Amino acid sequence: MATACRYLRKASMKSGGYATKADGLGAEIDITGYTPDRIRNFSIIAHIDHGKSTLADRLLETTGVITKSGKNKQVLDKLKVERERGITVKAQSASMFCEHDGRKYLVNLIDTPGHVDFSYEVSRSLAACQGTILLVDAAQGIQAQTVANFYLAFGEGLAVIPMLNKVDLPTAEPDRAALQIESAFEIDAANIVHLSAKTGLGIGRVLPSVIERIPAPSGSIDAPFKALLFDTWYDKYVGVVCLMAIKDGAVRRGDRVVSMHSGTRYEVMEVGIMHPEQRPATQLQVGQVGYVVCNMKSVAEAHVGDTFHKDKFPVVPLPGFAPAKSMVFAGVFPLDAGEFDKLNESIQKLTLNDSSVAVHKETSAALGQGWRLGFLGTLHMDVFRQRLEEEYDASVLVTAPTVPYRVQYKDGTSKYIQTPADFPTAIEIQDKVDAVMEPFVLATLIFPEQYLGAMLELCTMHRGDIHTHTYLDESRVMLKCRMPTAEMVTDFYDQLKSRSQGFASFDYEDNGYNESDLVKMEVLLNGEAVDALAAVMHRDNVATVGRTMAKRLKDVIRRQLFDIIIQTAANGKVVARETVKQLRKNVTAKCYGGDISRKMKLLNKQKEGKKRMKKIGRVELPQEAFLSVMTGSKE
Amino acid sequence: MAPARTPLSLYVHWPYCSFLCRFCAFSKARVPAGGVDHALITRALLAELRTSLAPHSRDKELRSIYFGGGTPSLAQPAHVAQIIEQASRLVPLAANAEITLESNPTSAETDKMAAFKAAGITRYSIGIQTLDDGVLQRMGRLHSGAEALAAANRAASLFPGHVSLDMMFGFESQTVDQWQRELETVLAHANGHLSLYQLTVEPGTPLFRDIRAQRVKRNPDDTLALMYETAVALCRSRGLAHYEVSNYAASPEAQSIHNLGYWQGRQWIGIGPSAHSRFIDPASGTCLRTVRIPDIQRWARSCLEHGHGTAKSETVDDAEARQEAVVFGLRMLDGLSNACFMRTGCVSSGALSLAEYLRVDQVQRYLRDGYLRSSGRLDHLAPTERGLQVIDSILLDILP
């Protein structure tokens, strides 16, 4: 049971949980004795690498949910990318049984993603909890993501228990970290729990703290069934599996439940808890958190934040969540047009388990048929691309990310721009447009004070507006800066890391729209505009970016049998021009008997390479051309 | 009347060199300290020759024999005579068969020229490479430009109309003017045939390492192109017609029959270490490509024990054969005929015409733009001078 991988679970399903049904009902566990006062629902919030998943592993071990094999490395982080990058992308949950002061408790850990790109997932996880552990690395102190997640939890009115992890490290400075917690969050860190999730030090104090300091869930067993749907995933054998927090009443197999969002009725096939895999139970009831399988065929039917009730017993719906909002958009195209269908299938499968990706079909003159995908942030985009390539072996071309600009027309209507192709022309702007708005974020940067100068410069360079800078202790600074989202999605993060030698951490939240002087920059190859290379940017950036882009394209475009003129232009004015001169000679000098095999091998390799080129008119554009436009446009 | 015999070519690889050139990627070895064991090499070559040619004795005729290397002019003329004699006993020599020997223009080798003629050599090829003594020395060659011209003169008197001179262009620091002057001099000594190669930097050569380590600079591509164009124009003005990428001949008769065989997809047998062959196996009727063992000692041992030193043998399928026919056919300014393509040496499945095989829309474009020329509905397809110069790019577009 230690390999609690959601994807392995699919494969082991037939021999696992569901086989018990065929054997009769004997395997279903009875948790009806756990009334709300014996239940705690909590999550852990932490910055990347502060040890959240390791702490979760230790808790699951001490409560016997998983065996202590030494192989439990981040049991809840089930995706390869999650383990590789040390981030949690999808919220997971696990139930534990434990004893405290002679009483038995059912404690549910609801995992949260550690990166604010996934703050939408964080907030829905938090909605299923009553409290959270704020885990801080005692050596690193608080980081930008800790701050962002703390305020999310605080905003939900959850009980927050700060804890310090990695206190066994020689570089640990627990007192300093405690001080930072106090000054950043204005909470009392006097009796803070000291932990080493790695060695197990202090683990025994974690669950008692959770039980003592986090309130029991409210609700009544006698009220009509009411539950919050807070996560779903697709299982190829049973369809959609829903994770629900039961707010009132109870649910069991055979019940007929209704989605308040759609009004659709479902028959409950199975209920249970995550332990850490699906374990059927006789009944889920008020205060508990568990899974419900109810003949739901597609993830599209499962609206996270939806309220469920029993058929004929309507309830007042829970507040629910705003749908996930895309912060960046990018075009995704198959490298080889022949792979469209395969890629289509892969994207569909992947979005089954990640409903926060917005998917629209898109056709590019340059790249053919593809998609415009909306992501929660650039990390989300990166993770999605990586999962496509790793899990589905797809070769994709991702165009430069765009943020959702908003165009307000003089007639009072407005439109969101997801792709540069939709951006109004100069004439349209003059005649019909009232204002072009661009989205902003409020960024939080935390770093040692010696980088203050570099960080201020970085923010200013990215059109940032410094709000405050606060000293968290004598040497760590927290800087708040409002800047256009577009500035953040290019090279901001890389620059932040390099200018602070890796010591700065960064997070952000949405911060509305502002009017902005935006223009569309186009790339023309031999006079023909390449839609997939176009970009919307602030007028101040046009000259630099235009020159850099033309130069980079010149470096990656190979010589062909004719001159290739590269131009970057904005508002009909050419910003920069480069020429890739005509290829004068390309012929193998010597080709005799012994050279034939080599020559043919080379030829076939070149033919393969050519297939992967994108053609703009007669100009062959290598993949690097698209990458060159995406990365680091401000050198 | 007996049915016409199919032409076959024989390539003989003589693996030793007295010096190793820094640019050379061919299979070769420096003459060992104790000298070459001529008897051993010749015995091994004769054994391999017997085994390889015997199956072809009934229906083939030898159109050409080519002694290449290495430096075959280091071989003993008597041994060369033995090989020619044995070959012609196994497969009859065609009337006016071409028998070429490659040589270096050291005085010692030049002294053997008459003996090679007596041994049966009909065409003499001299690797001059450059007349610049500084470059010759830097490239590791042990002869001077003057010696090379003397060798060319001697060859012209012994093999009138059948001498080929090899030159290279594009050496580091060589200018277009220098190249033109060198070529003028060589043209004055030419007697029938020139091979003018752009210096190609092959991986694994000392020159390649020098360039990678930036000890030696490469000439820019456009300079190399200009040198090539200069050569084409200059040769034409002196009556040497350009007939293949790097080859020029005073008349159609002066073209290299042996090398044309490679470009026209004909059959050949290669003997000697690392030699390649491509022929239709009389036993199975399939087209085979074989390679001999590269290591000289192991190859020789294998020949003496098993009668051949074949290391690898593979089938050339129709798809490969068709592709090769186009790739090599379009290296020649005469191009390839559809008739020839349809019965290309190895193609055994249903015949396919050039028009059916190639991407006709692309071909049309290149015809229109003056890179290719054709007659009829692709009865014949050939590159123009301009097209030949970039034929590797064109092939990528027109091949299916």
Q: Kindly determine whether residue B328 and residue A596, on different chains, have CB atoms separated by under 8 Å.
A: yes
CA distance B309 to A302: 71
Q: Searching chain A, which residue's CA lies closest to the CA of residue B69?
A: A594
Q: Kindly determine whether residue B390 and residue A586, on different chains, have CB atoms separated by under 8 Å.
A: yes
Report the candidate in B329, B124, B231, B125 with the shortest Cα–Cα distance to residue B240. B231
**What is the predicted pLDDT for the residue at B143?**
93
- What is the DSSP pairing of strand A476-484 with strand A465-471? antiparallel
The partner residues of A621 in beta bridges, in order of sequence, read A614
CA distance A119 to A198: 27
Report the candidate in A195, A207, A208, A197 with the shortest Cα–Cα distance to residue A55. A197
Measured CA angle at A89 (ends A287, A634), to 5 deg? 140
Grouped pLDDT means (10 residues each) for chain B, 400 residues? 84 94 87 93 98 95 96 96 97 96 92 97 97 92 94 97 96 94 97 96 89 89 96 97 98 96 94 95 91 96 96 92 94 94 67 91 96 91 97 95
**Phi, psi (degrees; rounded to nearest 5) at B380:** -150, 140
**What is the predicted pLDDT for the residue at A338?**
80
Q: Searching chain B, which residue's CA lies closest to the CA of residue A620?
A: B397
Count of residues making up chain A: 635
CA distance A161 to B369: 76
Report the candidate in A406, A404, A411 with the shortest Cα–Cα distance to residue A435. A406
**What is the predicted pLDDT for the residue at A557?**
92
**What is the predicted pLDDT for the residue at A22?**
34
CA distance A14 to A278: 12
Burial of residue A605 (number of CB atoms within 10 Å: 0-12, 13-18, 19+): exposed
**What is the predicted pLDDT for the residue at A276?**
81
Nearest neighbour of A607 by CB, restricted to B222, B389, B399: B399
Q: Kindly determine whether residue A610 and residue B278, on different chains, have CB atoms separated by under 8 Å.
A: no
* pLDDT tens digits along A530-581: 888 888 999 988 998 899 889 989 988 999 999 999 999 998 899 999 999 9
A558–chain B nearest CA distance, Å? 11
Nearest neighbour of B225 by CB, restricted to A561, A584, A596: A584
Is residue A305 within 8 A of residue A229, CB to CB? The reply is yes
Is residue A405 within 8 A of residue A439, CB to CB? The reply is yes
Enumerate the residues of chain B whose CB falls inside 8 A of the CB of residue A610.
396
Residue ranges in chain A modelled with pLDDT below 70: 1-26, 68-92, 113-121, 321-323, 353, 627-635
Is residue B311 within 8 A of residue B292, CB to CB? The reply is yes
Q: Which of A587, A595, A600, A608 would you mutate first to test chain B, the one with the most B CBs within 10 A?
A: A587
Q: Kindly determine whether residue A588 and residue B392, on different chains, have CB atoms separated by under 8 Å.
A: yes
CA distance A333 to A386: 14
The dihedral through the CA atoms of B107, B112, B113, B114 has a sign that is: positive
CA distance A234 to A239: 6
HSE-CB at A134 with a 13 A cutoff on CA atoms is 31
Mean pLDDT of chain B: 94
- What is the DSSP pairing of strand B93-103 with strand B60-69? parallel
Q: Which amino acid is at B210?
A: D
CA distance A291 to A50: 28
B1–chain A nearest CA distance, Å? 33
Is residue A171 within 8 A of residue A139, CB to CB? The reply is yes
Q: 3-class SS at A565?
A: strand
Nearest neighbour of B270 by CB, restricted to A587, A593, A603: A593
Contacts of residue B43, defined as CB under 8 A and 6 or more positions apart, other chains included, come to B300, B303, B304
Is residue A337 within 8 A of residue A326, CB to CB? The reply is no
Round the CA-based radius of gyration of chain A to a whole number and report it.
27
Enumerate the residues of chain A whose CB falls inside 8 A of the CB of residue B389.
584-587
Contacts of residue A270, defined as CB under 8 A and 6 or more positions apart, other chains included, come to A17, A18, A21, A238, A253, A280, A291, A292, A293
Element containing residue A547 per DSSP (H, E)? helix A542-556
**What is the predicted pLDDT for the residue at A395?**
77
> What is the CA B110 to chain-centroid distance, rounded?
21
Q: Which amino acid is at A477?
A: V
Nearest neighbour of A610 by CB, restricted to B263, B323, B396: B396
Largest CA distance in chain A: 91
Q: Searching chain A, which residue's CA lies closest to the CA of residue B320?
A: A600
Nearest neighbour of B259 by CB, restricted to A592, A599, A607: A592
Token pair 């003089």 in the structure block, residue: A410
Cα distances (Å, whole numbers) of residue B306 to A95, A538, B86, B299, B303: 75, 77, 18, 10, 5
Report how many Cβ contacts below 8 Å link chain A to chain B: 88
What region does A176 belong to: left with phi over 0, alpha with psi -120 to 50, or beta? alpha
Q: Which amino acid is at A609?
A: G
Enumerate the residues of chain B whose CB falls inside 8 A of the CB of residue A584.
221-222, 225-226, 389-390
Token pair 């003996």 in the structure block, residue: B115
* pLDDT tens digits along B154-188: 999 999 999 999 999 999 889 999 999 999 999 99
Enumerate the residues of chain B whose CB falls inside 8 A of the CB of residue A593.
11, 262, 268, 270, 275-278
Contacts of residue B150, defined as CB under 8 A and 6 or more positions apart, other chains included, come to B105, B107, B110
Token pair 């702007």 in the structure block, residue: A429
Q: 3-class SS at B112?
A: coil
* pLDDT tens digits along B95-110: 999 999 999 999 888 9
Q: Kindly determine whether residue B393 and residue A586, on different chains, have CB atoms separated by under 8 Å.
A: yes
Q: Which of A560, A580, A584, A615 would you mutate first to test chain B, the one with the most B CBs within 10 A?
A: A584
Q: Which amino acid is at A23?
A: D
Nearest neighbour of A596 by CB, restricted to B224, B225, B324: B324
Q: Kindly determine whether residue B262 and residue A593, on different chains, have CB atoms separated by under 8 Å.
A: yes
Contacts of residue A123, defined as CB under 8 A and 6 or more positions apart, other chains included, come to A152, A156, A321
Q: Which tokens is B24 given? A: 């050379």
Question: Roughly what angle, to the nearest 10 degrees, separates helices B391-398 and B318-329?
Answer: 140
Interface pTM, i.e. ipTM:
0.90
Largest CA distance in chain B: 65
The partner residues of A100 in beta bridges, in order of sequence, read A103
CA distance A168 to A139: 9
Beta strands in A138-294 (DSSP E): 159-165, 193-194, 226-235, 239-248, 250-251, 256-259, 265-267, 270-274, 278-280, 284-285, 289-293
Is residue A363 within 8 A of residue A404, CB to CB? The reply is no
